[in-house]
């Protein structure tokens, strides 16, 4: 399979994401524990696989997750402001005695896995196995790939993820979240430039991110709802 045959995503200027290559689209919900802390993911409905489709990027479509042309009606400004720099260069290293936590803060999608069980950025300073394992686990749960855990010998921990687009739902925060693109699906800008191909990235679908096309967590403040939170989603998909 050539690079142009497989799943791929193209950002369009002030318009939707054009998704090609039969990328599966699946509902993914953040699960919390009794303290309300994000601890795992639950998979939900799988949409019928389409060879190509347009996925809403402005947040205004009545047929979410698909585009219905609303971006033109609302005058959506989808200007891309995100860096094209490789994660390895853009992220800062928080070094601990057992593990290093790499952090590119502007990619934060506010899914809050890193904030559970004592906060990964604090735990990394500890010199014990339990803290090390928690840092690795919480890094791997981060949908945006803001965090990655790296061993002292340079080995990078990454979860095994197949190519998929997740529709993030965050009931604890009462909102829908970004598009969780998994498995190294290439994303190109409206100018045809390539963003770093990564195992996990989150693309904004509320239209409000200041780091487009990536999510920056603003969907929480914006109260974004794709219909799944209030139960008003379209039923045809
Ligand atoms: S979906 Fe997160 S900022 Fe838009």
Average the pLDDT over 128-144 and give the result. Answer: 97
CB 181 within 8 A of CB 200: yes
Residue 231 confidence (pLDDT): 77
Any idea which of 89-93, 134-138, 187-191, 231-235 has the lowest mean pLDDT? 231-235
Q: What angle do CA 140, 141, 142 make, to 5 degrees?
A: 90
Q: Is 215 in the pocket of ligand 1 (CB under 6 A)?
A: yes
Residue 5 confidence (pLDDT): 77
| pLDDT tens-digit map of 64-89 | 999 999 999 999 999 999 999 999 99
Q: Is 166 in the pocket of ligand 1 (CB under 6 A)?
A: no
| pLDDT tens-digit map of 155-189 | 999 999 999 999 999 999 999 999 999 999 999 99
Q: What residue's CA is closest to ligand 1, atom 2? A: 215
Separation of 130 CA from ligand 1 center, angstroms? Answer: 32
Separation of 228 CA from ligand 1 center, angstroms? Answer: 16
The best mutation among 71, 106, 206, 210 to test binding of ligand 1, ranked by most ligand atoms within 8 Å of the C-beta, falls on: 206
Q: Is 176 in the pocket of ligand 1 (CB under 6 A)?
A: no
Q: Is 219 in the pocket of ligand 1 (CB under 6 A)?
A: yes
The CA distances from residue 161 to 166, 181, 202, 234, in Å, are: 11, 10, 14, 28
Residue 233 confidence (pLDDT): 62
Separation of 11 CA from ligand 1 center, angstroms? Answer: 15
- Give buried/exposed letters for 55-92 (b at 16+ CB in 10 A, else e): bbbbbbbeebbbbeebbeeeebebebebeeeebeebbe
H helix or E strand, kind and range, residue 179:
strand 175-182
């Amino acid at each position: 399979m050539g690079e142009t045959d497989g799943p791929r995503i193209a950002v369009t200027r002030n318009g939707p994401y054009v998704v090609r290559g039969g990328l599966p689209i699946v509902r993914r919900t953040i699960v919390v524990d009794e303290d309300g802390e994000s601890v795992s993911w639950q998979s939900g409905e799988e949409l019928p696989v389409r060879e190509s489709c347009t996925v809403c990027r402005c947040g205004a479509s009545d047929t979410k997750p698909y585009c219905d042309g609303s971006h033109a009606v609302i005058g959506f400004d989808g200007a891309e402001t995100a860096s094209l720099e490789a994660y390895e260069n853009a992220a800062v290293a928080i070094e601990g005695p057992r593990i290093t936590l790499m952090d590119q803060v502007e990619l934060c999608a506010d899914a809050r896995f890193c904030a559970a069980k004592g906060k990964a950025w604090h735990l990394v300073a500890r010199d014990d196995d339990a803290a090390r394992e928690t840092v690795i686990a919480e890094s791997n749960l981060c949908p945006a790939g803001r965090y990655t855990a790296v061993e002292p010998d340079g080995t990078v921990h990454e979860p095994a993820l197949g190519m998929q687009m997740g529709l993030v739902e965050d009931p604890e925060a009462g909102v829908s979240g970004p598009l969780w693109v998994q498995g190294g699906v290439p994303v190109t800008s409206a100018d045809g430039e390539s963003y770093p191909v990564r195992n996990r990235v989150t693309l904004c679908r509320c239209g409000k991110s200041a780091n487009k096309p990536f999510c920056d967590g603003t969907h929480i403040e914006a109260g974004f709802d794709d219909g799944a939170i209030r139960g008003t989603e379209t039923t045809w998909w």
